[in-house]
Structure formats: structure tokens, C-alpha cells
Amino acid sequence: MRILRNRKTLVGLILLLLFVFLGVFGSTLAPYPELTIVGKPWEGPNGTHWFGTTQEGYDVWSQFLDGARSVLIISFLSGVIATVLSVLIGVAAGYFGGLADNFLSMLANIFLVLPALPFLIVVNSYLPAGNKASTALMAAIISLTGWAWGARVLRSQTLSLRKRDFVDAAGISGERSWRIICFEIVPNLVPVIASSFLFTTLYAMGTYVALTFVGAVDVNTPWSWGSMLFWAQSDQAAASGAWVWFAAPGVAVALLGTSLALLNFGIDEFINPRLRAAGLSRRGLRAAGLGRRPTLGLTPVLRPPGAAAVVETPVEIIEETV
Amino acid sequence: MYVLARRLAFYAVTAYVAVSVNFFLPHMMPGDPVETMIASAGGQLDQRSVEALKAQFGVGTGQSLWAQYWHYWGQLLQGNLGISISKYPSTVAQTIGSALWWTVILVGTATVISFILGTLIGAIIGWRRGSVLDSVLPAATFFQAIPYFFLATVLLYLFAEKAHIFPNADFKSYDTNSYVIGWNPGFLGSAVSHAALPALTIVLASIAGWIVGMRNMMVTTMDEDYVLVAQAKGLPKSRVVWYAARNAVLPSISSFANAISFVVAGSLLTELVYSYQGIGSLLLNAVQSEDYPLIQGIFLIITFAVLAANLLADTVYVLLDPRTRQEA
């Protein structure tokens, strides 16, 4: 896997796997139920309660372990739904063009401009209490505001792809539209789709935690890091010195987000090699046989040592006085 | 100008969609919002307000949905957004009016600072690609992934609770006990010191996006032929970078639409943490007290404000990029 050789991607992947582990086994590992009094109020971190206790005497460590699953499920489910929507709408708009394109592009642009979080708060405030706790519904509602960005990128990529010769050839040889889309166009969009999926998942995660934090959804079911942040905020955890109570879920959310963003960087550099040189430190460049820093106008191209003999003109680097 | 006219038409359609969504949403959902509101107001409402609410949400008026829709538009165009339940007897328009400017000034200033600073830093990092400066990127990514409200809580804890550099959150947008709103130094100083931490939060949380975007665009632009020509001609390096940066900044401005939505979302949460008396705190209070007319009104106002900000960004873009003006 070439993509794994990138250090950013590797770190992102390891972090993500760690969180998936937390999501799968978190509630099994949690020593106590998240909303049961198991200690004195405001205990600091200690042997029995690793992260201390809340104002009510709940165990923060258990709350933390339990909080991973619903965040992961809702973010990824929402990412999947939004990505499917964006592929359907973006590719259709790009491939068919004309009136359909105008309409779909406009739809995407409207959803891009509408302020998403206030919109979601409004939608959630009208939901009947019984439905607010549904994981699938939550994911679907969030994905409603998350597909537009991906659709726009996919549309422009499809536009450039459908003018290529191999697509023309497929059309002339009598392939049907759906076959051209599924077997000629979409496979070439995979990196873009992957990148848009990660971006959307990241967005959904932030949005879900934010919605829980402001209390626009059912705060306690499903239990999540957002619930912890909600209670920590309303019980004034920071002022009472129980900083682990809000720091743990906050840092976890930030790290999960970072891991997704790092993976996205990796894919970006995979698609656009120009960005790749950025991953090289000066020491890395020297080790690769390029003693000088890349400068204006030129991107260093690195080849494995054995391949250097094949190159007729060596890679030129403009001299720069350092 | 043709471009601007097209954008204007698009924003008009978006505003129309937002208003329609706002009208149809409560009608599509199961349950009766008016009953909920009357219950949560707890007998505070007089008969006329109940009638007004019923008219606004079309309960028991016997009108068709279509007639209600036009009625809603008529009211809206007169600036009538209904009566707020939680702030009864204030109207929604009055309630929003008193909170709006706090948010507009706070978020506007913070966004402009963040954009300018972030673009500058991004240009420098992009120019010095491969140097130590590149290590800013992972840090920026981390800051980008931190939720606004979490950053806000941390800053509040460090600078107000521990260090007492800035006032604590309980004082709202300015020291209401000592000062009155107006052009006096006491009030202005108090307002600025109360806005400093929320503004810092918004800047820190949103700057990474501008840095990364500008850096990536700068890296791509530096490879363009005209940059090579400029350098080959022997122009001073600062001049060359300036040429590249001027072109690299355009996508940042056109991605403003995407970004402003995130900034608005983040600001709502930031206000909540600092108990800043702006639109965000108002919206969250409205959600908690099930004040539907106020929720709807705030959603509309935020949408209109975002559209206005986008229009501004479009205008700047047209001024900066002569290619957009050439189309006939």
C-alpha cells in the first residue's frame, strides 16, 4: 500500500483504529453504568475512579468509555448516507448536464449556503420527543446538510472525466449510461469519493457533538461524548476543578477529528502529488539524495535509487543561497 | 456585473427556500406546536396572543395551507415575525434586534481577523514549502478539529478563572452594573474586554482552514509559468511571492460560503459558553423553552446574515478578479 508510506496517513489510521476499538469494546470495559451514583461528588482522579467523578457522583471514566460508540456510529452512518447522496447527485449532474445539472447544482449550492447548525437545531426542535433518540434518524438528518460539498466536487470531476476518450469510446460502443457511470466514471472518482467521505464524517461528528452539547437532541440517549460535554457545561465542571470531565471527551473528539483529517491529507497528497513534497523535511530530502530545499516553480521528483540510471536528465533544482 | 446579478438571483432563491422551509417544517411534523407553547408558557399568554399564535401556525383557523403560506409571507414582509413566548410580551423582532448587533460585530471582526491572518500565514508557509514552517500544518489540523465550545471552555478556564486577565462569563456582553450602552470609554472598554475571549476562540478555531487552504493554493500557484517568468526576469523575491499570493487567494475568497456556515455554527456555541448575549445564546434559550416563533425568527435572521456576508465576499471577488468582469 503506497498510501500507508505517508507518515500522516499512518498516524491517522492508527488513531482511527484506536477509536474504533474504543467504540466496539468501550461499554464492555466500562467499570460502572454511566448514570449511576458510584462515588462522592467531585472526586478527583484516583485509583477507583480514574477520571474522577461528576457533581452527582457518576464515574467519569465509564462515561468516557461509553461515549465513543454512538459518536462513531452516527458520524460514519451519516458520512455513508451523505456520500451516497453526493455521488448520486454529483455524478448525475456532471454526467447528464443540461437542465438536470442546473437544478441539482442549484440544490447543492443552496444547501452549502444555508447555515447548517441553526437549520439542524430548528429541525430537531420540531421532532417529537420519542424520535429524538433514534440513531438512524439522527444520522439521516445530519447527512441532509452534509452532502452538498461532496456533490459539488464530484460534479466538477465528472464533468472533466466525461470528455475523456475512454468514456466516448464506451458510449460509441453502445454501453448504456448507467454502465458507463458505474464502470467507467465512478472507479476513477474513488479517491475523491474517499476524501469526501472522510470530510463528511468529520463534519457529522462535529455537528452531532455540537447538537448534543446545546441540548437540541435527547441528551442522555444515546449516551455520547456530547452528553458528557453538555453535563460538564451545565454543572460548571471547569469552575469546580473537575477539568477531566470536559477535557476527556473534548480531546477525544479533537483527536478523532484529527485522525480523519490526517487520512484526508494523505488522500489529498495521493491525488495531487505537488502537495506531497511538503511531507519531506530537509533531512528527509538529503537522505533521498536532494541536498537542497525545493524552491519557487519546481517540485522535486524522488525516485528510488535503482531507477535513477534510467533518467536521462537529472532532476534540476534551482540553486538557492541559504 | 452580470456575475453579481446572477449571484443576487441565487441568494434570492436561497432566501425564498429558507422562508418556505421555515413555514412548512412545523406543518410537516407530527404534534401541535401551539399546544406545546401554550403549555410551556404556563397561562402567561392572554387570549389575543393565543389567537395570534394559532394564526401564525395555522391551527384552527380553517384556512388552507396555501392561504396560510401567503399570510405568512405578508406578515414577514411587514417585518412581523410573531410574538416570543419566552420573552413575552416582546415580539420576536424586538428580541432579535437587541441581540443581533452583539453577534454581528463579534463574529464579523473575528472572521475578518482570522481570514487576513490565516491567509498571510498560509502564503508564507506555502512559499517556504518543505521548511520547518510546514510543521505548523499538523498543529493547525488539530486546532481545526477541536470543537469551538471546547476551546472556549479551555480559554475561559485558563484566562478568566485562573489568570483573571479577562472577565468571567457571568458578566454577559459588558459590565451591566457599571455602564450604559453608548459612545463612552467605560462601556466600550468593558464591551471589548468581554468580547476578547470569544473573538480569540473564533479566530483560533477558524484560522486553520484559511491557513491550509491558502498554503495548498500557494503551492500550486508557485508552479505556474508566470511565477517562473517573474523570477527569471529577476524581480525581487517579495514581488514574485506577492504575484503568486494575489492569485492564490482567489479560491479562499470563493470558498467563503462554505466557511462562513462553520463559523456561524461555532459562534453560536462560543456564545453559549461565555454567556455572551448574542443571537447564539438567544437561539439556545429559545430551543430550551420551546419558543417556536423565536426559533424560526432567529433561523431566518441568521440565514439572511449569512447570505449578506456571501454577497459581500462575491463583490470583493469581482473587484479582485478582472476575469469575472469581462463576461458580457
**A224-283 pLDDT, tens digit each:** 898 988 888 888 777 777 788 888 888 899 899 889 988 887 887 777 766 665 445 555
Is the pLDDT reported for residue A79 higher than 90? Answer: yes
pLDDT-based confidence at residue A139 (cuts at 50, 70, 90): very high
Q: A263: nearest CA in chain B?
A: B141
pLDDT-based confidence at residue A170 (cuts at 50, 70, 90): very high
Q: Which of B21, B22, B141 is nearest residue A258 as measured by Cβ atoms?
A: B141
Q: Which of A112, A275, A282 is nearest residue B216 as measured by Cβ atoms?
A: A275
B93-325 placed in CATH 1.10.3720.10: yes
Is the pLDDT reported for residue A285 higher than 60? Answer: no
Cell 451545565 maps to which residue? Answer: A234
pLDDT-based confidence at residue A317 (cuts at 50, 70, 90): very low
**B151-172 pLDDT, tens digit each:** 888 888 888 777 777 776 555 6
Q: What residues in B contact A115, CB-CB < 8 Å?
A: 261, 264-265, 299, 302-303, 306
Q: A102: nearest CA in chain B?
A: B10
Asked whether the beta carbons of residue B18 and residue A238 sit closer than 8 angstroms, the reply is no
User: pTM here?
Assistant: 0.82
Q: A127: nearest CA in chain B?
A: B29
Most confident of A74-78, A112-116, A130-134: A74-78
Percent of chain A whose predicted confidence (pLDDT) is above 90: 25
pLDDT-based confidence at residue A14 (cuts at 50, 70, 90): very high
Q: How far apart are CA A276 and CA A104, in angstroms?
A: 34
What was the pLDDT predicted at B44? 64
- Best interface-test mutation with B: which of A270, A292, A296, A299 has the largest number of B CBs within 10 A? A296
Asked whether the beta carbons of residue B220 and residue A274 sit closer than 8 angstroms, the reply is yes
What was the pLDDT predicted at A130? 67
Q: How far apart are CA B115 and CA B206, in angstroms?
A: 8
Compute and round to an integer the Cα radius of gyration of chain B: 24
Ranges under pLDDT 50 in chain B: 328
Tell me, yes or no, if A213 comes closer than 8 A to chain B by beta carbon.
yes
**The 3-state secondary structure of chain B, one letter per residue:** CHHHHHHHHHHHHHHHHHHHHHHHHHHHCCCCHHHHHHHHHCCCCCHHHHHHHHHHHCCCCCCCHHHHHHHHHHHHHCCCCCECCCCCCCEHHHHHHHHHHHHHHHHHHHHHHHHHHHHHHHHHHHHCCCCHHHHHHHHHHHHHHCCHHHHHHHHHHHHHHHCCCCCCHHHCCCCCCCCCCCCCHHHHHHHHHHHHHHHHHHHHHHHHHHHHHHHHHHHHHHCCHHHHHHHHCCCCHHHHHHHHHHHHHHHHHHCHHHHHHHHHHHHHHHHHHHCCCCHHHHHHHHHHCCCHHHHHHHHHHHHHHHHHHHHHHHHHHHHHCCHHHHCC
CA distance A179 to chain B (A): 33
**A105-124 pLDDT, tens digit each:** 999 988 988 888 889 988 88
Inter-axis angle of helices B2-28 and A116-126, nearest 10: 20
What was the pLDDT predicted at A311? 43
**In chain B, domain spans:** 21-77, 93-325
Is the pLDDT reported for residue A214 higher than 80? Answer: yes
Q: What is the mean pLDDT of residues A19-23?
A: 92
Q: How far apart are CA B197 and CA A146, in angstroms?
A: 30
Least confident piece of the model among A43-47, A85-89, B50-54: B50-54
How many Cβ contacts (< 8 angstroms) between chains A and B?
178
Q: B302: nearest CA in chain A?
A: A115
What was the pLDDT predicted at A312? 43
Tell me, yes or no, if B299 comes closer than 8 A to chain A by beta carbon.
yes
Mean model confidence pLDDT for chain A:
81
pLDDT-based confidence at residue A87 (cuts at 50, 70, 90): very high
Is the pLDDT reported for residue A83 higher than 90? Answer: yes
Q: B215: nearest CA in chain A?
A: A275
What was the pLDDT predicted at A49? 78
Is the pLDDT reported for residue A316 higher than 50? Answer: no
Q: B250, B314, B284: which is closest to B6 by C-alpha?
A: B314
Is the pLDDT reported for residue A306 higher than 60? Answer: no
ipTM > 0.85, yes or no = no
**A62-73 pLDDT, tens digit each:** 888 888 999 999
Asked whether the beta carbons of residue B150 and residue A119 sit closer than 8 angstroms, the reply is no
What was the pLDDT predicted at A315? 45
CA distance A19 to chain B (A): 15
Asked whether the beta carbons of residue A8 and residue B138 sit closer than 8 angstroms, the reply is yes
Asked whether the beta carbons of residue B145 and residue A298 sit closer than 8 angstroms, the reply is no
